Chains A and B, each alone.
Chain A
Amino acid sequence: MSSDTRVPSAEPGSEPGTTEVDAYHGLELYRRMLLIRRFEERVYLVYLQGEIPGTLHQYQGQEAVAVGVCDVLRRTDWITSTHRPHGHALAKGVDLRAAMAELYGKATGCCGGKGGSMHLGDPSVGMLPAIAIVGGGNTVVTGLGLAFRLMHTDQVAVCFFGEGASNEGAFHEGLNFAAVQHLPIVFACENNLYGASTPFHLTSLVPDVAARAAAYGVRGEIVDGMDVLAVREAAGRAVADARAGAGPILLELKTYRFAGHSRGDVRGYRSREEEALWKGRDPIVRIRERLALTLAEDVLDATDAGVEAALDDAIEFARQSPLPRAEDALTDAYATVISREPTP
């Protein structure tokens, strides 16, 4: 595999907005999804070995959403993310080594060890530090869109959030304001059925978040979030419309998180049958099966091996990287340090 550990952000092999992607492009989508899946699985193992501080909210099962949406974005477009940002970060092109090192709390991490798992991000690839306040991105993203318009760029911003966040006032205020201002924004709601332990049906009489778009005069669309090509197709249209001044659009991507809400969640609030049903729709298995119709098995296997090698490299990089210096904690609160000399 190439030594470039950055996941290429969209260099579309075909026009966004069409379901048809050529085999090479399909393979690239598969590779990115697998990278996220294996990233999460391997991160969990090293977490259990005590190599990663803090907590983890993982993305297994939802890979088609991040990869399908980010595939139709340019590097200059921006995304906002949540407490569950690993997949979004890798899909938007945050450097794999830097993402891994950030989880390890190392100086070489994409936030210098200040952010950690819940705040992955990198302005140079168009990703704000992930916002771990549920609904936090839904209002901030309107400012990104407003700035793009005021600066006469054709950039687009995508706000990722969960169905749980759609019950925050911020979701409603952000969507309404974006609507009335026709901002170039795609609101991408990942409906994985649960907010922590709470099923969505206990918290909303409207089962589809997309239906809420009507209340704000916005187009809302339900998408199979377990099918990367369907996600890519819908996101392609939404992003193109937003770029053309017909935004915002609310996409609801029906998906499922295969892991617990955070580490240590034994998932007592949902049935193993339900989990098995959704695992039967595994987005990575689905695209691999499709690709196997046209690509030789050893091409796919080589891709798998490449992903593993990239992760070996990233973990080794994170392990070998230096810790931040203790005094680095005191910089970056302001552009120039204004706080008084610390007390002992």
Chain B
Amino acid sequence: MTPGTPPAKGGRRLNIAEALREAIAEEMRHDEKVFLIGEDVGVPGGFGGAFGVYLGLTEEFGHERIIDTPISEKAIAGAAVGAALMGMRPIPDLQYSDFLFECMDELVNQAAKMRYMSNGRLSVPMVLRCPVGTANRGAQHGQCPESYFVHVPGLKVVCVSDAYHAKGLLKSAVRDDDPVIFFEHKLLYGSKGREQAGGMDLTAYVPEEEYLFPIGRAVVKREGTSVTVVATHMSLYRSLAAAEELARDGIECEVIDPLTLLPLDEETIFASVRKTGRLVIAHEDTLTGGWGGELAARVAEECLFSLEAPIRRVASHDVPLPVAPVMEQTVVPSVARIKAAIQSCCGG
């Protein structure tokens, strides 16, 4: 099988949590320099990480490589940076992406800049997994902060939305020589989020044999000729749902999962936009300063004369997240909002 092509059949169906667990276990077996460090990751009888991704890993790798920490995000991120500088490959864990703000210095001033400041002589190979997304948890437990990090030269930013790519990309991220911030959506982990995720089947075929999926490559999730839709996480699935509905009206959406936001796979996206002449971008991160604006600017710079309509962005409104479901649903991009943006982009 060519790397990067999800098998049509064969392999097993895994959810994202299982796929991530496999990726970490494989990488820990493959390279003794890989270790895990974070809050509630390996306590006996404990949670196995805030979303259970690490369950069972301590049994195999022991407390020396699965390190439980105090609630000290600065120490966790700082220790990861320092160990990475010494040639280790740490996987630090902060539970929720909202807590990234506790250690912005370690990530932005240290991890991202050490290679540059050392004139290329140092590397910071680490992967920070970060759950994002609304799930009725309010203003401090549901943010999608991807775009802050897209703004930081020296970091790589990945967003995964299905088990196949989650596994392949996490393995690539662990082997990457630069710091990778790896965003996962809480509602997409597996069975638990299923109801909230609208009853979606959150499993995907994952081959038994080892594979990697490269950082920096987007995938076309659905081919179409009318309009290009670039979306991540829940917005990706909502875009796919909107695309199904619009197909009945003869609008054929080409839906792209960028997978890596930094560096962005311009080639795949630009090729699609040149084909369709229209672009809609959807993400759960807020609108102003969101990565969709960066993508829109690049498309405007490189593909302006292929565009037949203004680019449309669908994003969370520029407010913190409310907890009440009626309000939360208003803030984040819905199928209806994505559909309306696509229709307006297509002149409907």
Contact = CB atoms under 8 A, between A and B. Distances in A.
Interface string B92-130: 000000110010000000000000000000000000000
B324 A114 contact: yes
Interface string A23-42: 00000000000000000000
Interface in B287-326: 287-288, 312-315, 317-320, 322-326
A208 B139 CA distance: 32
Contacts of B270: none
Contact of A164 (B46, B71, B73): B71
Contact of B326 (A165, A326, A343): A326
Interface stretch (A131-139, A183-191, A220-228, A231-239): A131-139
Interface in B314-348: 314-315, 317-320, 322-331, 337, 340-341, 344
B268 interface: no
B146 interface: no
Interface stretch (B36-44, B166-174, B201-209, B249-257): B36-44
Contact of B324 (A164, A168, A323): A323
A118 interface: yes
B191 to A, nearest CB: 13
Q: Is the interface on chain B under 10, 10 to 19, 20 to 34, or 35 or more residues?
A: 35 or more
A105 B323 contact: yes
Interface size class of A (residues with CB under 8 A): 35 or more
Interface string A300-344: 000000000000000000000001111111101100000110111
Contacts of B44: 268-269
13 contacts: A53-B324, A54-B138, A55-B136, A105-B325, A113-B324, A116-B136, A116-B138, A169-B72, A203-B70, A268-B44, A325-B326, A328-B327, A344-B340
Contacts of B43: 197-199, 202, 269
B40 to A, nearest CB: 5
A343 B337 contact: yes
B175 interface: no
B326 A54 contact: no
Contacts of A269: 43-46
Interface of B: 39-40, 43-47, 68-74, 98-99, 102, 135-141, 287-288, 312-315, 317-320, 322-331, 337, 340-341, 344
B140 A116 contact: no
A196 B327 contact: no
Rank and list the top 4 A-B pairs by shortest CB-CB distance, nearest first.
Answer: A116-B323, A268-B45, A197-B46, A105-B324
A116 B324 contact: yes
A197 B328 CA distance: 29
A119 interface: yes
Nearest to B332: A329
A202 B323 contact: no
A342 B74 contact: no
Nearest to B192: A264
B137 A118 contact: yes
A325 B326 CA distance: 7
Q: Is the interface of B mostly helix, strand, loop or mixed?
A: loop
Nearest to B137: A54
A135 B322 contact: no
Contacts of B140: 118-119, 131-133, 136
B162 to A, nearest CB: 25
A245 interface: no
A164 B330 CA distance: 35
Given A131-B140, A203-B71, A324 B327 contact: yes
Nearest to B315: A343
A106 interface: yes
B77 to A, nearest CB: 12
Interface string A98-118: 000000011001000111111
A195 B315 CA distance: 35
A5 interface: no
Contact of A329 (B46, B314, B328): B328
B115 to A, nearest CB: 26
A124 interface: no
Interface of A: 53-55, 105-106, 109, 113-119, 131-136, 164-165, 167-169, 195-199, 202-204, 265, 267-270, 323-330, 332-333, 339-340, 342-344
A213 to B, nearest CB: 18
A196 B47 contact: yes
Contacts of B341: 343-344
B141 A132 contact: yes
Contact of A326 (B69, B312, B330): B330
Nearest to B323: A116
B237 to A, nearest CB: 19
Nearest to B140: A132
Contacts of B313: 343
Contact of B71 (A54, A113, A132, A135): A135
Contacts of B331: 329-330
Contacts of B141: 118, 132
A86 to B, nearest CB: 14
A327 B138 contact: no
A132 B288 CA distance: 25
Contacts of A164: 70-71
Contact of A119 (B102, B138, B325, B329): B138
Given A113-B327, A198-B46, A269-B45, 13 more contacts: A105-B325, A105-B326, A106-B324, A113-B326, A119-B138, A131-B140, A133-B140, A134-B71, A165-B71, A167-B71, A167-B72, A327-B330, A342-B317
B71 A197 contact: no
A255 B74 CA distance: 27
A113 B322 contact: yes
A265 to B, nearest CB: 8
